Structure 1
Amino acid sequence: MASAHRRGALLVALSTSALSCIASPAYAQSEAASTAPPEAAAAAPQHATVDATEIIVTARRRSETLQSTPVAITAINAAMLENKAAVNIGDLQGAAPGLLITQQNSGAQAANISIRGLTYADIEKSQTPTVGVVVDGVTIGTSTGQLQDAFDIAQIEVLRGPQGTLFGANTIGGVINITRTKPTMEPGVRAEFTYGRWNTWAAKAIANYGDGETWGIKAWYFHDQTDGFYHNVTRDTSDGWSKGDSYGASLLFQPTGSGFDAQLSVENVVQSFNPVVSNLANSTEVFCQYEPANQCNRNTTTDLYTTFGDAAKSTYNAPDATLQMNYDLGGVKLSSITGWRHSKERQTQDFDGSSTDLYYVDRRQHYTQRSQELRAAGNLFTGFDYVVGGYYFHSSYDLIQWTRLFGFDSSIPPTEFDKNPQSVDGKTTSYAFFGDFNWAFADKWRLSFGGRWSHDNKKLTNSFAETGLIGSGDANFSKFTPKIGIDYRPNSDVMLYASWSRGYRSGGFSPRAATADTASTPFQPETVDAYEIGAKLSAFQRKVQINLAGYVSDYKNMQQNLTVPGGPTGNQTITGNVPGGALIKGIEMDGTFRVTPDFTITTSAAYMKSHFRNFVTDGAYGTLIVPFDYSANRLIYAPKFTASINGDYTIPTSFGKVVATAGWRHISPYDEQISQASLTPVLDANGNVTSVIVNGNDPRVRTTTQDLVDTSLTFNFDIGDKEAYLRVFGRNLLNEKTTTHAFTVAGLWSFGMALEPRTYGATIGFKF
């Protein structure tokens, strides 16, 4: 057994969040125009009359057609999600160019989202995502809660590249803009029941009522649960179970002829799950000295699905409320979006993933965010429209963690074992002012420009119950992020555009810092200068639509989790900046081919090349503190090539119709953590080590090539004015097995989480 001194030293290094990070195709069809709510204020730019194949998007806070929007954007509507049998937005991974969405089970509804190689895989509430998830106009401020259910979604818009002007500071990679269905104001019900492999089942229902003109109310209830696809051989049971409920209501009020509408939505998400991990430790790591031999040196494919750890449970309760109001004054439209979200989490987790009791935690935390956005939009004069506004955001966060380190007795709760738990308290206050403008300055030419000024105040305190304060920090960050673009439309079937924009992600403090100096020293903001050219092309009466984009992203002062000298064990994990940053280049394509009115093919492809520049930080090499050069490492969640093709074929029948859907998504290997594969010391003339070259990331944090094949067959039955449907589906039919998240812990141990293997099931439902 480790000595008390060693156990205490490791505890300081690993406690609190030490491991939590551990942390366009025109898919939408004609119904998109009716389901996408007009957020907008300004009239869409002048273009040909919108026909049934046009898709209306609101990505720029205006209602405009997809093909006339000078932004790389993919639109996916309710019909596509239904036919795909999508469970949550994670099922969109690989469907849009350069988009990755993987689940992170160290947090409830937590997602690792990457667009164009920009991501930050960390579920700590003190850290902010690089890709914004916006639900009905409200940005979710943390990775927790981003993995939204797909059942009640009207449309999803995936915006690629920095979107700071209209969506705020923490959208340097892009935005996933989710619009849920509005109350229909007519009596109606939609309900369905799904059963699938792993004893997975879900029951979901939405009911609408109203007077058909002035007011309407929508209420919903979703339940889903599964036994999990892992098998724990220590306890001889299924592992990775989960159970969740979501319920709420939305009231829409729009007095006839008033130009005013208001929608209030309230909901609650209640979830419990087993945050299981697979043991990836090998013989070079400390924990393998204490674990059975058959639990170490395992592979990162088929071995992932056999687990050994103790039982663990996470509970999550997350109410939220949104109030949207619009008032059309004729020449100008005023909009207000008020958001409130709160979450309470309690999670136990066996992080070592072995049958030996080495590292088990009990984490309890609360998070609350409030936001307010006000916008005005309209036309200043013919050919010149605008959106201007202000934004306020405040969040508070507290975490306390008890740790059972080298306890060797799983019967003792961490709250009894650890008399010196660590706590983190943080606050963020932000406000911003923004403007976005379109000017049709010449025939067929349009200039788009704008900017956002953001100010952020970050506070964080890190301490232990008995040994006291580690450190605290209070810092302010401000930034102006401009954008400018130009587009040329020689005719209604062609648009060419070019743009430059700057994205910004605020600085902050390191929750895992182990010394007073690192805990009180802020990491600085990071920026991305994105240069993009693109073309949106239509042909054959818009039966064929192809969108192309090429981009260069100049990533400066990149924020990364770094292992640096300091603290009781000699090393500590902090968030720091990579001064040289990274350079990312890519080309993208997405297209829609309407072969017949009943047969549509959608496709996408993205090629990306990226590398770090001057990624050097201090590290420990034996007893020496020398520069470590990570410049040869790959960026994380940045596959070189992704592609997809999906076909939807509708067969009219005497009873209704049958819809057959089949899709293939290809994702080349990518890394999931900045780590160390091997080290090469650089010696001076006297044989002294002057620096160390890191030879890439640890191979255990690299995925395999993924070829994901999904199919479904839906039978739709028309019963008078009602509709019933039966859907059978299969996902990952080639049974690809790899990690969705993997992490190595400073020579101590490593762990990962697995991709869902082949699964299948059936859904029965009705609408009226």
Structure 2
Amino acid sequence: MIARPLLLASVATVSLATLSLAPSQAYAVEAAATEAEAEAASSEILVTARRREEQIQDVPLAISVINANALEATGSFNVGKLQQLQPTVQFYSSNPRNSAANIRGLGAPFGLTNDGIEQGVGIYVDEVYYSRSASTTFDFLDVGQIEILRGPQGTLYGKNTTAGAINITSRAPSFTPEGRVEASFGNLGFVQAKGSISGPLIDDKLAVRLAASATSRRGTVYNVATNSRINEQENIGFKAQLLLKATDTLNLTLAGDYNRQDPECCAQIYYKTGSTQRASNRQYAALAAAQGYAVPSTDIFDRVTDVDADLRAKQSLGGVSLRAKWEVGAGELTSVTAWRFWNWLPSNDRDFTGLPIFTKVNNPSTQRQWTQEFRYAQTSDKLDFVVGLFGFQQSVHTDGIQTLGSAASKWLLNPTNANANNPAYLNGVQSDNNIDFKNTSLAAFGQLTYHATDRLHLQPGIRVNYDKKSGSYISTVTQNGVAVTNPTKLSDAGLPNLNYSPKFSDWNLSYDFTASYDVTDDVLAFATYAKSFKSGGINLNGIPTDRTTGLPVTSKTTVKPEKVDHFELGLKTQLFDRRATLNLSGFWTNVKDFQAIVNDNAPGVVRGYLANADKVRVRGVEADFSARPTEDLNLYVNAAFTDAKYKKFVDSPCPPELTGGTAISGSQVAGAAGLPGALSPLSCNISGSILPGISKWAFSFGGEYRVPAQLFSTDGEFYLGYDGSYRSKFSSNPARSIYTDVKGYALSNVRLGYRANKQWDVYGWVRNAFDQKYIEQLATQSGSTGLIIGQPGDPRTYGVTVKATF
């Protein structure tokens, strides 16, 4: 665990360097502002959504921009916090590896991460693609602004953006000396420090920028088994950039970053139980009673647990990149070369109890990736275009382990089994998994905008992509160092010996067409059709075994590509002399062979696997409104209505209330849901049910009011800011269950402060001001025991932040 003094000292080093670089120069920046202020001045916001710099209201695309001031003012220090500012973003994380950022309900499958698949929302930082979902949990580091591109972006951003892209831009090195420092302190031992410094090394030729960030917070859950607070935060990050103006037409930016997390995390805790079709004496209450076990609290908001396995969520992530921008002819040639790494060293308690059922379920991984992109862009009165090439190579290695403890025999085996009361029978049975994955992807792409008239613009785009994936999964089961080959014991443990080597390769074509029309200088209307895809995948979490033969189902080793047809209409308007902005969009997305993570509810199985749902449909309407009625008041409201359903999924794994019983055969009919001892269906038809993780209604709203004032003979302003969010209920299981709907909730964040001379800022803040009790995510214990576990959202937190700009 990183000590807090070390975290603060790291950032203080940057701050002291700031003072020595420019002791007599003050660099003025705009006062901190809400997202609404940025939107109200949207005609001046520049974005690079189409891989060229242009004003946001000129881009025929549903796009939101959050600037650095809004991120800092609202405490949005990683991607997970963005969903409170943008209702079309959903974020779920049971631990850093199992994290997913979705847009409009699509993106990553809902459930445990599988290395053999693609994400559906691309994360880009300074034009470099971050393939690991874990990158969403790290603190933002010296960010200038974030662009959230909604809807398929396959032409310019690739196969991993069927739902959209999050485009993060860092502050660039400056030839004008400048520095920033920020420190926050709050309850739960919260300490966060940030600092950056920039200035010239060689006048007008070479500039440097250094940044550091550190966050520490005590855990929100108390573990009585270890007498410690868990689910804490311990993050540290560094970034360095060098900008070389090699010639009048060539700029080179060399960047490197390193980020590390080492918290005691992450536990999901008891929420409730729900009856399944397993025999009564094999459900959670009876199993716990048989071992004399009682959970320390049945109220999840007591935030108490007794998980007995070590908890660790240690990871490091970083890399280097070289960006070249060269003015060639009438356009600009861009090259982005990058190498990145990710190391993951976890420890979990996957039985979610204080019993030694599973003593280890860990999947430590290492990942390395290379990316290379070339783009040439040109703009003219009649024609704008971007053409390019992209290459991606990735390798992942995982050494997984699953170990059974002394309570496994009684918990996993039927009482009629002669070994059920023999703790030694399954104690120490261990599955060691050697997993490798390699992925090569190559693409050529282009997009052009033809200005048919001064007001009518036609924009076709195309991308050709080749993917090659290969992997191997070798699972070896031992007990006390001796190989387990007895099929009965393997079945009892739910840990089969597996050895398979899936492969996948395919060519795919993405294309889109957008027509936009400037109704007036302040009104833009557009219509888009996009044909996109997500590459096929391979299952690298293990595959299910046949319920009757016990043999691996080899047909489950791969999944088909996800194919997307997307339609969208949009209107971007500025009103009242551009003091207000109203942007509207309506979309309809059809997905064929939707990639979902599903669960095998057989006893002992603790992980999900990939499968294709036949058809999914997502449609909705979004509205983004912001206004600046006076110079001192900013307001914003963002709203999203999203209707997402499985249109056809006739052979889905069943929800927990329809599992656990003896499987039907022949003409037998499955029993009632949740009836102990009833027959269970082999699969379920969930066509028409809602997709997991998506609220039908979601809103974000707020504003800031400022009053000019003098304090200690210094000109400045007092301000009061409010940011609220609401989302309606959503399903938290791939197949909707009567037990795992998460209730809707509203959150309120408030801040009150004083800014002076645009150089320093002090404010107090309260997040979740009304101490709303809410659940972030629910899940089920494997084996159809009926145990439902969950993650309670953060309680009320409060603190103070001090910022200075030099």
Pick the TM interval, shorter chain.
0.7 to 0.9
Q: CA deviation at 1:334?
A: 0.3
Within the alignment, does 1:697 sit opposite 2:733 as a pair? no
CA contact (8 A) 2:42 2:57 kept: no
CA RMSD of aligned residues (A): 2.7
CA contact (8 A) 1:487 1:497 kept: yes
Aligned residue in 2 for 1:329: 328
The DSSP-based 3-state class of the residue aligned with 2:266 is coil
Alpha-carbon displacement from aligned partner over 1:180-205 (angstroms, at most 9, x marks no partner): 11112233321122111211111221
Match of 1:756 among 786, 789, 794: 794
The count of corresponding residues between Structure 1 and Structure 2 is 689
Structure 1: unaligned runs, 5 residues or longer: 1-25, 34-50, 676-695
Within the alignment, does 1:438 sit opposite 2:476 as a pair? no
- The one-letter code sitting in structure 2 at the alignment partner of 1:704 is K
CA contact (8 A) 1:449 1:484 kept: yes
Q: CA deviation at 1:419?
A: 4.9
Q: CA deviation at 1:446?
A: 0.5
Aligned residue in 2 for 1:11: none
Within the alignment, does 1:352 sit opposite 2:351 as a pair? yes
CA contact (8 A) 1:637 1:670 kept: yes
Aligned residue in 1 for 2:262: 272
Aligned residue in 1 for 2:371: 371
Aligned residue in 1 for 2:209: 218
Match of 2:305 among 294, 304, 307: 307
- What percentage of aligned pairs have identical amino acids? 25
Aligned residue in 2 for 1:596: 630
CA contact (8 A) 1:280 1:296 kept: no
The whole-number CA distance in structure 2 between the counterparts of 1:244 and 1:570 is 32
Within the alignment, does 1:743 sit opposite 2:779 as a pair? yes
Q: CA deviation at 1:568?
A: 9.3
Match of 1:707 among 738, 746, 749: 746
The DSSP-based 3-state class of the residue aligned with 2:133 is coil
- The one-letter code sitting in structure 2 at the alignment partner of 1:225 is S
- The one-letter code sitting in structure 1 at the alignment partner of 2:722 is A
Alpha-carbon displacement from aligned partner over 1:626-683 (angstroms, at most 9, x marks no partner): 44212243201211001121202233222223332111111111112214xxxxxxxx
The whole-number CA distance in structure 2 between the counterparts of 1:743 and 1:171 is 27
CA contact (8 A) 2:114 2:609 kept: no
The whole-number CA distance in structure 1 between the counterparts of 2:794 and 2:173 is 34
CA contact (8 A) 2:114 2:539 kept: no
Within the alignment, does 1:76 sit opposite 2:132 as a pair? no
Aligned residue in 2 for 1:646: 702
Q: For structure 1, which segment, 220-229 or 746-755, has the greater mean C-alpha deviation from structure 2 after superposition? A: 746-755
Alpha-carbon displacement from aligned partner over 1:480-513 (angstroms, at most 9, x marks no partner): 0110010111221111111101221111111221
Match of 2:734 among 660, 674, 681: 674
Q: For structure 1, which segment, 262-271 or 313-322, has the greater mean C-alpha deviation from structure 2 after superposition? A: 313-322
CA contact (8 A) 2:613 2:652 kept: no
Q: What TM-score, normalized by structure 1, do the two folds share?
A: 0.85
The DSSP-based 3-state class of the residue aligned with 1:295 is coil
Match of 1:189 among 179, 193, 204: 179
Q: CA deviation at 1:356?
A: 1.2
- The one-letter code sitting in structure 1 at the alignment partner of 2:503 is D
CA contact (8 A) 1:510 1:519 kept: no
Q: 1:510 to 1:660 in 2, by over 3 A?
A: same
The whole-number CA distance in structure 1 between the counterparts of 2:608 and 2:749 is 39
Question: Which residues of 2 match residues 167-566 of structure 1 at below 5 A?
Answer: 167-210=157-200, 211=202, 213-255=204-246, 258-273=248-263, 274-280=265-271, 282=273, 284=275, 286=283, 288=285, 289-290=287-288, 294-295=294-295, 298=298, 302-303=301-302, 305-310=303-308, 311-361=310-360, 362-379=362-379, 382-408=381-407, 417=428, 419-465=430-476, 469-511=498-540, 512-514=542-544, 516-518=552-554, 521-563=557-599
Aligned residue in 2 for 1:659: 719
Q: 1:283 to 1:526 in 2, by over 3 A?
A: closer
Aligned residue in 2 for 1:17: none
Aligned residue in 1 for 2:115: 125
CA contact (8 A) 1:132 1:174 kept: yes
- The one-letter code sitting in structure 2 at the alignment partner of 1:482 is Y
CA contact (8 A) 2:34 2:704 kept: no
CA contact (8 A) 2:641 2:696 kept: yes
CA contact (8 A) 1:360 1:404 kept: yes
Alpha-carbon displacement from aligned partner over 1:351-372 (angstroms, at most 9, x marks no partner): 2222111123233211111111
Q: 1:536 to 1:207 in 2, by over 3 A?
A: same
Match of 1:578 among 613, 617, 626: 613
The DSSP-based 3-state class of the residue aligned with 2:57 is helix
CA contact (8 A) 2:603 2:784 kept: no
The whole-number CA distance in structure 1 between the counterparts of 2:626 and 2:229 is 42
The DSSP-based 3-state class of the residue aligned with 2:134 is coil
Within the alignment, does 1:112 sit opposite 2:149 as a pair? no
Match of 2:75 among 85, 101, 115: 85
Structure 2: unaligned runs, 5 residues or longer: 1-32, 276-281, 409-422, 478-482, 484-496, 546-551, 654-658, 666-681
- The one-letter code sitting in structure 1 at the alignment partner of 2:750 is T
The whole-number CA distance in structure 2 between the counterparts of 1:623 and 1:435 is 52
Within the alignment, does 1:161 sit opposite 2:160 as a pair? no
Q: 1:618 to 1:607 in 2, by over 3 A?
A: closer
CA contact (8 A) 1:29 1:54 kept: no
- The one-letter code sitting in structure 1 at the alignment partner of 2:390 is Y
Q: 1:52 to 1:200 in 2, by over 3 A?
A: closer
The whole-number CA distance in structure 2 between the counterparts of 1:503 and 1:335 is 25
Aligned residue in 1 for 2:14: none
Q: 1:418 to 1:266 in 2, by over 3 A?
A: farther
Aligned residue in 2 for 1:613: 647
Q: CA deviation at 1:373?
A: 0.7
The whole-number CA distance in structure 2 between the counterparts of 1:204 and 1:364 is 30
Alpha-carbon displacement from aligned partner over 1:583-621 (angstroms, at most 9, x marks no partner): 111111001101112211111111111221221226676
The whole-number CA distance in structure 2 between the counterparts of 1:337 and 1:714 is 41
The DSSP-based 3-state class of the residue aligned with 2:71 is helix
Q: 1:535 to 1:423 in 2, by over 3 A?
A: same
- The one-letter code sitting in structure 2 at the alignment partner of 1:714 is G
CA contact (8 A) 1:252 1:264 kept: yes
Q: 1:671 to 1:261 in 2, by over 3 A?
A: same
CA contact (8 A) 2:556 2:610 kept: no
CA contact (8 A) 1:183 1:217 kept: yes
The whole-number CA distance in structure 2 between the counterparts of 1:442 and 1:27 is 37
- The one-letter code sitting in structure 2 at the alignment partner of 1:577 is N
The whole-number CA distance in structure 1 between the counterparts of 2:649 and 2:137 is 31
CA contact (8 A) 1:591 1:604 kept: yes
Q: 1:235 to 1:608 in 2, by over 3 A?
A: same
CA contact (8 A) 1:114 1:638 kept: no
CA contact (8 A) 1:472 1:520 kept: no
CA contact (8 A) 1:384 1:440 kept: yes
The whole-number CA distance in structure 2 between the counterparts of 1:155 and 1:500 is 28
CA contact (8 A) 1:348 1:360 kept: no
Q: For structure 1, which segment, 493-502 or 234-243, has the greater mean C-alpha deviation from structure 2 after superposition? A: 234-243
Q: For structure 1, which segment, 541-550 or 246-255, has the greater mean C-alpha deviation from structure 2 after superposition? A: 246-255
CA contact (8 A) 1:668 1:704 kept: yes
Aligned residue in 2 for 1:636: 692
Q: CA deviation at 1:147?
A: 2.8
Q: CA deviation at 1:71?
A: 0.2
Q: For structure 1, which segment, 650-659 or 666-675, has the greater mean C-alpha deviation from structure 2 after superposition? A: 650-659
